[in-house]
Amino acid sequence: QEPEMTSEAGPGSDETPVEIALYGPSEVAAGDSFVVQVVASKVRDLVAARLTLRYPGTLAEFAGIHPGPLMGKEEEESRALLAGVPAGTIEAQVSRVEGIPGVSGEGALALVAFKVLAAGRLEVSLEACELVSADGQTLSCSAGSMTAEAI
C-alpha cells in the first residue's frame, strides 16, 4: 500500500516545504506594466515548477511569463509554458530544457508581467505550486502573496 502524499513533511523527514514568496512594487500607476518575481528558497535539483497565480482581473491584465534567473537562460536552458489564463488566474509551468540538469539554491523561478488597468488594491497570490525534482519527486511548497496599490 502506497503511503498517502501530504503537503506537510512527516516526522523523521528532513524535507521541509520550499518557501515561495512573491515580490513586486508596492505602488503602480494605471496604464503601467509591472513584474512579479516568484522566488523560491532551498530548492534541490529542481527541473520544473507548476504555478497557479490569482490576481484581480478588473484591475490588471496578464502580460507574459518568463523563467526566472534561477531556472537558467530562456530557450537555451529553460522555458515557460502557459497552461491557461482563465479570468483572474494564470496557470503556467517553468522548466529546465529536457536533458539539462536541475537547479539548486534560491532565486526567482518565474517573472510574471502585468499591465495595470485601473486604480485599487492589487493583490497577486500564489494559489498552488508544485515543484518537480530531477528524479521525478514532487516537492511541497508554501505559497505567498504580494500587494500593490494601483493609483
Pair 49, 130: CB distance under 8 Å? yes
Angle at 38 between CA 35 and CA 44, to 5 degrees: 150
- The 10 Å Cβ neighbour count of residue 105 is 11
Q: What are the grid coordinates assigned to 107, written together?
A: 532565486
In sequence order, the 6+-apart residues with CB closer than 8 A to the CB of 69 are 107, 108
pLDDT digits (tens, 9 = 90+) for 114-146: 999 999 999 999 988 899 999 988 987 887 888
Q: Are strands 27-28 and 145-150 parallel, antiparallel or unpaired?
A: parallel
Give the model's confidence band at 2: pLDDT under 50 very low, under 70 low, under 90 confident, else very high: very low
CB atoms within 10 A of CB 65: 23
DSSP state of 74: B
Q: What pLDDT score was predicted for residue 15?
A: 61
Tell me the mean pLDDT in the region 92-113: 92
Separation CA 138–CA 116 (nearest Å): 34
Specify the pTM.
Answer: 0.84
Res. 7: pLDDT tops 50: no
pLDDT exceeds 90 at position 106:
yes
Q: 125 with 53: CB under 8 angstroms?
A: yes
Alpha-carbon 53 to chain mean position: 7
pLDDT for 8-67, tens place per residue?
Answer: 433 334 467 788 999 999 999 999 999 999 999 888 899 999 999 999 999 999 999 999
